[in-house]
Every structure is written in structure tokens, then in C-alpha cells.
Amino acid sequence: MAVNMRNEFLHASRVHFEARIEKHRVNVENLLQNSAGIGEHGGLMDTIEKELDEISKYHGLLEILDTYFPQDYDAKTTKELING
């Protein structure tokens, strides 16, 4: 049985991106519930914004995988996606 390396790479990327999202989501939850760790409210807001930026980055990467690299790969489908 041959291993489809394309799907293996896509799956590994997906799992990595989802894990990074979860890491930063937990950080935001922790900051929201335990804000005593940062003395200034401005510092807290900046830190939360940085965590949200990271979530946004990995969420965008997941959307790119879904849009341009579907699991049920078909070259014609991909070409249609690129050309609109």
C-alpha cells in the first residue's frame, strides 16, 4: 500500500496549525482569567492582541489549505480554484 505523501504533508500541516491555534487560545483564556500576571492593563491588552494575531495567522493558513489544497485532490479542481 503506497503512502500518499501529499496527504501526509497536508495532514501534518493541519495538525500543526490547529495545535498552534489551541496554544494561543489557551494563552488568551489564561490572560483573561488571571490578568494579575501583567501589571498594566495596556500591557495586558497588547499581550492579548499579540496572541490573537498568532491565532489569526494560523487560522488563515488553515483556510489556505482548505481552499487551495483540498484533501480530495484533483488537478482540474485546483486549476479552477486558481483561475476563479
Q: Are 71 and 10 in contact (CB under 8 A)?
A: yes
Look up the pTM and report it. Answer: 0.76
> pLDDT by residue (tens digit) across 29-43?
999 998 765 566 678
Task: Name residues of the chain where pLDDT drops below 50.
Answer: 75-76
Which residues, in sequence order, are CB contacts of 35 under 8 Å at separation 6+? Answer: 41, 44
Quick one: pLDDT at residue 41?
63
Instruction: Provide the residue ranges of all domains of the chain, joining segments of one domain with +.
Output: 41-67
Say how far apart CA 39 and CA 43 lie, in whole Å: 7
